Amino acid sequence: MEETIIDTNELGESIVKVLKGIYDPEIPVDIYELGLIYDVMVNTDYEVKILMTLTSPNCPVAESLPREVEEKVKTIEHIKDVDVEITFDPPWSKDLMSEEAKLELGML
């Protein structure tokens, strides 16, 4: 039986697609376009590590948002484990938002 080779770029795109379906409850823009996702790493064992931030350290979804990210990314086929790490270095700022997000929020 041949081992299935999974395209990590394709897997990365699947992860981004999932992340774009998760919204900050206070802002009508997904967490990816908001710039809350700093890094997504996938190793050869299909374990994912996501480095993300929140709009503020005392964000009301500080507990639930990382859990939602972890649970939704785990639903992607082949992914064995997801580790979501929250960082505030560098702190989130509006500069991290995509043009699309800024447009959506009337900042352009």
The pLDDT tens digits for 32-64 are: 999 999 999 998 889 999 999 999 888 888 889
Cα within 13 Å of Cα(24), Cβ side: 23
Residue 1 pLDDT: 44
Alpha-carbon gap, residue 72 to 21, rounded angstroms: 9
Residue 75 has pLDDT above 80, yes or no: yes
Q: How many other C-beta atoms are found inside a 10 Å radius of the C-beta of residue 97? A: 20
Average pLDDT over the chain, rounded to whole?
91
Say what the alpha-carbon torsion angle 86, 88, 94, 100 is, to the nearest 10 degrees.
-20
Alpha-carbon gap, residue 84 to 70, rounded angstroms: 6
The reported pTM is 0.89
- Token digits for 33? 């376009």
